[in-house]
Amino acid sequence: MMESLIQASYFIVAAIFIIGLKQMSSPVTARRGILWAGAAMVLATLVTFLAPEIIDSDETLTNISLIMIAITIGGGYAWWGGRKVAMTDMPQMIAMYNGMGGGAAAAIAAVELLKATTEASHLNQIGSESVTIADVLGADVAVLGILGAIIGTISFSGSIIAWAKLDGRLHRSKLLPAQHLVNAMIAIATIGFAISIYFSSDLTPIVIFFGLALVLGIFITIPVGGADMPVIISLFNALTGLAVGFEGYVLGNAAMIIAGIVVGSAGSLLTHLMAVAMNRSVSNVFFAGVGTDTGVASEAAQGEMKEIQAQDAGILMAFASQVIVIPGYGMAVAQAQHKIWELTQLLNEKGVSVKFAIHPVAGRMPGHMNVLLAEAGVSYDMIYDMEDINADFKNTTVALVIGANDVVNPSAKTDTSSPLFGMPILDAMDSDNVIVIKRGRGAGFSGVENPLFFSDNTKMLFGDGQKAASDLIQAVKELS
């Protein structure tokens, strides 16, 4: 009876997960979807307390106490961190949580493998036949447990590196001459020890296996350039889901299996869509090293950046027929989204049509710019995806680029030597005028120079994004 209740509850949880995920596909219903998915997770957690291995154990009180302590610490920190984190740090938090999920799956695998090792060693001492971990766990459980351990461990260490790079704690990486060869050798060694675990009952292969998997996650993430960080975060999210699903099978926990499959499939689809949006394969993201110190250098930009003052830029925008705003990570750093929305409202009052253009990989994580604009109050019907707005640039008086670089870089279309070549971009260069709000004259996060900034129809408004937006607001108000 109790087992039926648990399985029925897991089925309900799965249905709510899927409904919540569907609602997350639209900014209008995303908040509701997150709340539904959170409620489902609470239900799955509570039902798990009814599992026989918890309530029928000789150490029931101890088990429940440890679980409650873990929930209190983890849940309390997540609640505090979620409320405190700045929008600019949201990508780092997502990367870290991805890593923690992978690490949890790897820890489950480690516990099960260690338990199997202990049991196999005991059976070998009392019997004449050699007993392996595969004999103790069963072939299917052993294979999926080891696969989950590899994937979860790589996701854990790789996500930590992604967090460090996004947080500025690990600066631009060097792609070593033999980097990919070293990675391949570590991967082969990891697989070799994974196979040895299956056929052995020793502790040593397990320790070496996890050590190699940790190193592999670090080594395959370090060469990835800054322009590819959104894709990497999405990929690690998919890997974490896959690892959780595998370990759910090991534990016989339907909720973990379903949640892992949903997260893994959603993350895989998002990773594919983002790679397509960049016109690159996922393998190219890992191996190209876009933005690393040894990445292929593009042609040097010709000309000189032409500066414009906020007063002149404000006048130009106030008398425009249409303005398209292109936000990037610089807007997030400056926390300028609220000022940009205020500027938008002023321009609307003067009869100027204002739209927002979002590139699929703008920011440091998928949907980063959409979240920022929604937080500022920008109406959803003013926000357009790249494929829906690119044709409008030819009829646009001013394209306002704030904190973006690679997503408007024309080298992606014209320079075959550029590491960005082939990536679809927002066609800001087709506008009558381009105004770029930028803190300095350097290249963007990917390290690739942008010829747009030297174009005849481009003017640079240097300074902090929030201050520049405030100055534009003041300039527009003075025309009233």
CATH number, position 416: 3.40.50.1220
> Structurally, how many domains does the chain consist of?
2
Residue 18 predicted with pLDDT over 90: no
Give the pLDDT confidence score for residue 160 in this predicted structure: 93
Give the pLDDT confidence score for residue 186 in this predicted structure: 94
| In a shared domain, residues 324 and 421 | yes
CA–CA separation, 99 and 209 (whole Å): 18
Residue 456 predicted with pLDDT over 70: yes
Q: Is residue 123 included in any domain, yes or no?
A: yes
Task: Work out the average pLDDT over 15-27.
Answer: 84
Task: Work out the average pLDDT over 296-323.
Answer: 82
| In a shared domain, residues 320 and 273 | no
Give the pLDDT confidence score for residue 298 in this predicted structure: 47
DSSP string, 230-268: HHHHHHHHHHHHHHHHHHHHHHT-HHHHHHHHHHHHHHH
| In a shared domain, residues 381 and 277 | no
Residue that is last in its domain, among 295, 319, 343:
295
Confidence of residue 468 (pLDDT cuts 50, 70, 90): very high
Tokens describing residue 220? 């395959």
Task: Work out the average pLDDT over 408-415.
Answer: 87
CA–CA separation, 128 and 131 (whole Å): 9
Q: Is residue 255 included in any domain, yes or no?
A: yes
Give the pLDDT confidence score for residue 159 in this predicted structure: 92
Range of weakest confidence among 185-199, 361-375, 390-404: 361-375
Residue 297 predicted with pLDDT over 50: no
Confidence of residue 443 (pLDDT cuts 50, 70, 90): low
Residue 118 predicted with pLDDT over 80: yes
Task: Work out the average pLDDT over 457-466.
Answer: 92
Residue that is last in its domain, among 234, 267, 295:
295
Name the nearest CA neighbour of 99 among 158, 148, 169, 166. Answer: 158
Residue 212 predicted with pLDDT over 50: yes
Q: CA gyration radius for the chain?
A: 26
CA–CA separation, 79 and 150 (whole Å): 29
Q: Is residue 304 included in any domain, yes or no?
A: no
167 flagged as catalytic: no
Q: Is residue 59 included in any domain, yes or no?
A: no
Residue 299 predicted with pLDDT over 60: no
Q: Is residue 39 included in any domain, yes or no?
A: no
Confidence of residue 67 (pLDDT cuts 50, 70, 90): confident
Give the pLDDT confidence score for residue 445 in this predicted structure: 56
The mean of the pLDDT values for the chain is 86
Find residue 438's DSSP bridge partners.
462
Task: Work out the average pLDDT over 61-75.
Answer: 87
| In a shared domain, residues 249 and 385 | no
Give the pLDDT confidence score for residue 173 in this predicted structure: 56
Give the pLDDT confidence score for residue 255 in this predicted structure: 82
| In a shared domain, residues 202 and 347 | no
Residue that is last in its domain, among 248, 267, 295:
295
Q: Which DSSP state fits 385?
A: E
Rounded-to-5 percentages of helix, strand, coil across the chain: 65, 5, 30
Spatial contact of 270 and 223, defined as CB atoms under 8 Å apart: no
CA–CA separation, 136 and 147 (whole Å): 17
Residue 470 predicted with pLDDT over 80: yes
Residue 3 predicted with pLDDT over 60: yes
Give the pLDDT confidence score for residue 93 in this predicted structure: 87
Confidence of residue 137 (pLDDT cuts 50, 70, 90): very high
Residue type, 97: Y
| In a shared domain, residues 235 and 315 | no
CA–CA separation, 74 and 300 (whole Å): 49
Task: Work out the average pLDDT over 197-210.
Answer: 93
| In a shared domain, residues 255 and 391 | no
Within 10 angstroms of residue 466's Cβ, the number of other Cβ atoms is 19
| In a shared domain, residues 276 and 345 | no
CA–CA separation, 261 and 243 (whole Å): 9
C-alpha angle with apex 164: 158 to 168, nearest 5 degrees? 150
Give the pLDDT confidence score for residue 127 in this predicted structure: 72
Torsion over CA: 201, 207, 208, 212 (sign): positive
Q: Which residue has the higher pLDDT, 298 or 228?
A: 228
Tokens describing residue 408? 């408007």
* % of the chain at pLDDT higher than 70: 91
Residues 6+ apart with CB under 8 A from 268: 238
Give the pLDDT confidence score for residue 405 in this predicted structure: 85
| In a shared domain, residues 248 and 330 | no
Confidence of residue 128 (pLDDT cuts 50, 70, 90): low
- Expressed as residue numbers, the domain containing 220 is 98-295
| In a shared domain, residues 266 and 317 | no
Q: Which of 228, 392, 406, 471 is catalytic?
A: 406
Q: Is residue 270 included in any domain, yes or no?
A: yes
Q: Is residue 14 included in any domain, yes or no?
A: no
| In a shared domain, residues 264 and 319 | no
| In a shared domain, residues 269 and 403 | no
| pTM summary value | 0.80
Task: Work out the average pLDDT over 176-196.
Answer: 89
Q: Is residue 147 included in any domain, yes or no?
A: yes
Sequence-ordered strand ranges (E) for 256-352:
322-327
Tokens describing residue 236? 């690690």
Burial 176-200 (b: 16+ CB within 10 A, else e): beebbeebeebbebbeebbebbbeb
